[in-house]
Amino acid sequence: MAAPIEFTVAACDGFARAGRIRTAHGEVATPAFMPVGTRAAVKAMSPDELWEIGYRLVLANAYHLLLRPGPDLVREMGGIARFMAFPGATLTDSGGFQAMSLAKINSISEDGIRFRSHLDGAPVTLTPESAIEVQQALGSDIMMVLDECTPYPAEHGAALKSLEMTARWAERCLRARSSATQALFGIVQGGIYADLRRLSAEQITSLAFDGFAAGGLSVGEPKDAMLEMAALTASMLPADRPRYLMGVGTPSDLIAAVEMGFDMFDCVLPTRNARNGMAYTSAGKISIKRAAYVRDPGPLDSNCQCRTCRTFSRAYLRHLYLSGEILAARALTEHNLFFYARLMREAQAAIASRTFRAYANSVTTALAEGDGADKETD
């Protein structure tokens, strides 16, 4: 039986690697950033725009889709990619992270997570088995195990207890998986404790997952701790499987994580920041609200070839933003997602030409300019 996905590393430069993930819905070049399509839509974007920018893999949230419109409906409509009319591949998270951050939790036990829907208060139980069942109904190309995301801060003892349950849940997820076309990724936890990260990585990589993720990062811990734990986790993950750093991050975080050997990323920053008037540019972040742009006829980023930069002036975008026009959210989101896609394309090329270090330096220096450097506070 063919594996549900096939990962090929085409080039390495230090720990960084460039490659491809073949899925049932096409190939994805790595390192890859995944736009977040929470409710089966990337906010403000149409699926053809995502495709034109170059995205071949988007993320959707099982928690949201479980509550509305429900996994059975999505299955009936041909699966999540077809439902949202995205011609590429999809990854779904397990729903656990959102249940813990959005819902009213009733209990987290060995069995699973009991919570009340943030939409209507209806009681829902998510177990390792039901998390897989939901994602199999959604029909994503890559599913994630149900894990307990260790919060920050957490005591060593609590983090240990949590990662051990995550390991038992991981085994249950693997046993529950019946789809031959959907990959399943394990998730390493361990908080910010190096020994626990190692232990969790040993436990999770001993299981036959198609890929591995570092979870429980970017949840409030200091940036240095995040980067240290990410690097440690990456070093423990097998080289022949995709490595996914969940929920990270800023452009400079992504460059740092690519250098550690991560292949996949997701983050709401480019889309959420866009809706708040923030644009990523080759000279750092800018806020389109600033009075300095009121009569500025230039594009957001004179080095950018996206449709927004080819079409609209900063003066117009500022006017749209201040007027609350939907087109402001559209134009800035398209620009930011183009920026992230270009960053990954450039990283791939730099790895292939073994110039990644120089590329990383040049990008990181440029990004530190602008209205404000990329900060934790994103």
Could you give the residue numbers annotated as active site?
Answer: 93, 266
Q: Is 331 in the site for a second copy (CB under 8 A)?
A: yes
Span interacting with a second copy, options 82-90, 125-133, 143-151, 178-186, rule CB under 8 A: 82-90
Contacts of residue 6, Cβ cutoff 8 Å, sequence gap at least 6: 21, 22
Buried-state track 205-220, b at ≥16 Cβ within 10 A, e below 16:
beeebbbbbbbbbbbe
Q: Is 34 in the site for a second copy (CB under 8 A)?
A: no
**Residue whose token pair is 């959210």:** 329
Span interacting with a second copy, options 70-78, 195-203, 218-226, 369-377, rule CB under 8 A: 70-78
Q: Is 181 in the site for a second copy (CB under 8 A)?
A: no
Q: Nearer Cβ to a second copy, position 10 or 292? A: 292
Q: Does residue 276 contact residue 288 with C-beta atoms inside 8 Å? A: no
Q: Nearer Cβ to a second copy, position 26 or 151? A: 26
Q: Nearer Cβ to a second copy, position 39 or 223? A: 39
Q: Is 305 in the site for a second copy (CB under 8 A)?
A: no
Q: Is 313 in the site for a second copy (CB under 8 A)?
A: yes
Q: Is 40 in the site for a second copy (CB under 8 A)?
A: yes
> From the list 3, 68, 202, 235, which residue makes contact with a second copy (rule: CB under 8 A)?
68
119 token code pair: 């939409």
Closest CB 325 distance from a second copy, rounded Å: 5
329 token code pair: 């959210």
Q: Is 44 in the site for a second copy (CB under 8 A)?
A: yes
358 token code pair: 């120089």
> From the list 46, 179, 181, 364, which residue makes contact with a second copy (rule: CB under 8 A)?
46
Closest CB 339 distance from a second copy, rounded Å: 18
**What type of residue sits at position 230?**
A
Binding residues for a second copy, total number by CB under 8 A: 38
Q: Which residues pair with 142 in a beta bridge?
A: 91, 183
> From the list 178, 326, 375, 377, which residue makes contact with a second copy (rule: CB under 8 A)?
326
> From the list 18, 60, 84, 217, which residue makes contact with a second copy (rule: CB under 8 A)?
84
Q: Is 43 in the site for a second copy (CB under 8 A)?
A: yes
Closest CB 137 distance from a second copy, rounded Å: 14
Span interacting with a second copy, options 46-54, 147-155, 249-257, 350-358, rule CB under 8 A: 46-54
- Per-residue contact flags (x/-) with a second copy for residues 262 to 301, judged by CB under 8 A: --------------------------------xx-x----
Residues that bind a second copy (CB under 8 A): 39-41, 43-48, 64, 68-69, 73, 76-77, 83-85, 294-295, 297, 307, 311-313, 315-316, 318-320, 322-323, 325-327, 329-331
